[in-house]
Structure 1
């Protein structure tokens, strides 16, 4: 009898947690995304494809679609080549200082690409860029050396910040790969480049393609770089056109409808890309990881060791150090365009940004507050949802898993537009122009991060621990509080920072939802730059970089401490 009561109690608790979890995800994720499709394809009470085709055939929207495709394809090809090459260098060759190089190649992963775009605008804008001015003044060039306001400029900047997607994937595959095939080829007389071209690259091709598709997904939906470098020259992609239409028309019906059509295109593109990725990874064409541990074979670079080391250092200096230094230097100038000399540099702008300028002070407070709130809420909800997905045997949890991972495949501009449709009075609640609408959007966007981190932690907690506690008379709540939560605390901690740090630098969602009093750091940097306040924009960007890098170093230190235990 007691056993039956416990089963019924457990069943009721499971169903309650499942219902609550689905309710959270339906309200936060499903409803906004559903409203986008209803707005795009449903008009006057009926299914309407004609209006969708009309919107897509308009010159501006058609051009934005083509621009998105051009930028995404160029970025994907370039990032794949760069990421694969550097991954091969640091994992399979005797390149000096490989550990340091690997760490440096991961740095762009934590830096906001729109801040990088801002730095390259300061360096390579046609007339005012410091590099272009140097060559024009020193060598008498009549034309700028390079115009950053171009497709080529946008693609090159995106490559600098997106290649780690491929780099991480390929490094992992190469480090775990059975090296016997390469060793056999070497014994047979094959050279370094023959082995790499005919054996190594084909074996890790699934990882290369997987990383490449992630880059395409990200680039198609990327707002920051195109907004900073493209709009000035009339180059719009889908997210920047959505932003431009909605903000220029103050959210009119026509602009919202255009936005929902374009957002639907992004969703379909993301779905196609993720389907292709699953097909590639699901084929299992190449089995490169065996059951026993291998030490990867190091290929000898011989005379190329130090030239390639110099090339790597030059790449790091040019793509990471130079733009970062320029951001801090420009942030210290009294007026943009002055030379970087002691008489023109000071910390006054940084003091003004932090203590005197209300707009930037509010932006920093808003970003930190929103980041903390979103991280705490999604971390807590993510634990509950992950527990249902990983540990409970109840019907309907497949729906929960789908809803939980949906934001991971939906671009940020789509989430923002869906939140506008859902929480601007249509459902009886109006959060528009308040900080709450940004918080709801952050929760929707980052929920998948929390679910992934907490699911990984819960997978390591054996079911027998909870069963033993229940057998000893503990309720489900007591078992979760006293056993499960302490064991998954590291996963919760990881989920918190996986959300807090990206929220600090977020731009794509915030730029669609902010009001004059709810600017975030990313929005303030972008709007200051658009208003011509270049030195203030750079100073705030420098402060943002310090916050982000400090947070990342803090996480790395704690992670190493936990690993050491």
Structure 2
């Protein structure tokens, strides 16, 4: 028993120390550098940055675009969740999958697709003869265009939260209201929406923070529109390579992190005030009959899905299939050379696919293993173990919530010098991106594993202890097999997120260590539009295939692990 206790304690200590090292310490170092001067702690650098006109404008643009897009995403995501969750529309499973698909597509790929879909060179609009005139200003190069794409990117987050909340409601509330003569609209305003208030607030806050740290859409649309946000300003300042560039961007990153953390704290406080205790078990949601309007509502739903997915996807593919951007897609201009170029000939793209596959896969495996241990201690019977594990889990949640560009700066500051003892530097290598992925996405893999641990009967472990099984044996023979489906689902979500991301790696990549996201961005930024479209098409197809493969785990994973499955 003493050996078992010792093994548990050592394992817990290693997990907490590791989480602190890669999640907590980089952020602490960032705040230390951003809030210190020659005489120690001071707010002078922060105040000087806030007095800068460029920082003020970027801060305002970030708050403005994030707030507007979060409001729109909350309205759109809630409407979709109410229609699919409470009515008798058909093909709900397919609709849910398609509505959540934009959330899995990289933001910069989304931006590229929409730029090509609505621009003067749009193949699809040219087919219908409604393409803007050559030389005219792109309609998306504006604040409104940026807000529109951020809304489409983040409304699935709200949809996911509201749909989950609807499925947790006791049906007796709605049944009682209907017995009293309430119609669907009255139940919506008097019962459903008030009970959904905490979820709506959470969805707004999540969309706000996601938009605040979004780099791909902000860069692709904001730079041409001269609408600079804080993530883009950090990227530009770091590219200047001045002597004081790191302290400068550290201060801006502190501002960005502070806004994100303030939004999370406000959300948490307001949610506690708005929370309503519900009595009764969750049941199947109501299926309110739409009657004669069902066909119209279904047509609007499928029209929305087609507009959000088919138009940009078709434009992306059409651009990838022409020799030069702007040419109409005909049999004479059709070519597969762009795909051959990015898949086999261009060494940078081949290397980017290999690098992203390697570090995303390793990060997914590492997070699954760490989650197996950390999830065990988060649900442990001993209070001290739970508290220590909760501290590690909280650091992982903060690292995930803080914008990825901020974490990138934090990792540069933490690992720009060689590591002590071994005297090896991670900066400028692929491994700094790997460590950053583990830090930023640990919370994604941890959630389904923790949910699976909560479903395990504690008597199983007690029986194993009585039989003399040590900690390692219990973990291998009892918990690992039972947790494996949830850990695998979490690992696939981590892989999907890391494989496509650009926000974290935008400042950490170097020559020879490119990722898929940075390569696509660099192609588009350098004017190689057809190559960017071809590579983006491959990434979108890979994303869809991975999401479809996740359905194979649906029967064995805990409920809610796979977002688009009931």
TM-score between the two structures when normalised by the length of structure 1? 0.91
Distance change in 2, residues 1:245/1:83 (3 Å): same
Match of 1:68 in 2: 62
What residue number does 2:168 align with?
176
Going from structure 1 to structure 2, the CA distance change for 1:264 and 1:216 (only over 3 Å counts) comes to: same
- RMSD (Å) for aligned C-alpha atoms: 2.5
Q: 1:59 aligns with which of 53, 61, 81?
A: 53
1:228-247 counterparts in 2 under 5 A?
Answer: 228-247=220-239
For residue 267 of structure 2, what is the aligned residue in structure 1? 277
* Cα-to-partner distance string for 1:443-499 (whole Å, 9 max, x where unaligned): 111122232232222223333323322322332222222222222212221222121
Aligned twin of 1:302: 291
SS at structure 1 position matched to 2:350: helix
Rate the CA distance shift 1:159–1:241 in 2: closer, same or farther, 3 A: same
2:549 equivalent among 549, 554, 558: 554
Matched, 1:14 2:5: no
1:331 and 2:320 matched: yes
Question: Residue in 1 aligned with 2:144?
Answer: 152
The residue aligned with 2:427 is 432
Partner residue in 1 for 2:107: 113
Give the C-alpha shift of residue 119 in structure 1. 1.0
Corresponding residue for residue 401 of structure 1: 393
What pairs up with 1:88-127 in 2 under 5 angstroms? 88-125=82-119, 127=120
Are the equivalent residues in 2 in contact too, given 1:14–1:392 (CA < 8 A)?
A: no
Superposition map of 1:41-60 within 5 A: 41-60=35-54
CA distance in 1, matches of 2:86, 2:38: 61
Give 1:534 shift. 0.1
Please list, as runs of the form range in 1=range in 2, the aligned pairs for 1:355-394 lying within 5 A after superposition: 355-391=344-380, 393=382, 394=384
1:88 and 1:241 mapped to 2: Cα distance? Answer: 38
2:19 paired residue among 16, 20, 25:
25
Cα separation, partners in 2 of 1:426 and 1:34, compared to 1, 3 Å: farther
SS in 2 for 1:205: helix
Query: Residue 437 of structure 2: SS of its match in structure 1?
Result: helix
> 2:168 & 2:151 partners in 1: Cα distance?
26
**For each residue in 1:27-80, what CA deviation from the matched residue of structure 2 results, as whole angstroms up to 9, or x when unmatched?**
212221111001100121411211211112111111110010111111111111
| Greater mean alpha carbon deviation, residues 167-176 or residues 29-38 | 167-176
Residue-by-residue CA offset, 1:117-142 (whole Å, 9 max, x unaligned): 111111234x445577789x769979
Query: Kindly tell me: are residues 68 and 87 of structure 1, through their superposed partners in 2, closer, same or farther at Cα, counting changes over 3 Å?
Result: same
Say how many residue pairs are matched.
553
How far 1:159 sits from its partner (Å)? 1.1
Is contact 1:116–1:324 with CA below 8 Å preserved after alignment? no
Counterpart for residue 246 of structure 2: 256
Match of 2:413 in 1: 421
Unaligned ranges ≥5, structure 1: 1-5
Rounded Cα–Cα distance in structure 1 between residues aligned with 2:556 and 2:317: 31
Match status 1:205 vs 2:194: no
Mapped partners of 1:94, 1:149: distance in 2: 39
Instruction: Determine the structure 2 residue equivalent to 1:410.
Output: 402
Q: TM-score, normalised by structure 2?
A: 0.91
Change (3 A) 1:63 1:426: farther
Aligned to 2:257: 267
Aligned with 1:204: secondary structure? Answer: helix
Conserved 8 A contact 2:352-2:515: yes
Q: List alignment gaps of at least 5 residues for structure 2.
A: 560-566
Structure 1 residues 436 and 165 mapped into 2: Cα distance closer, same or farther (>3 Å)? same
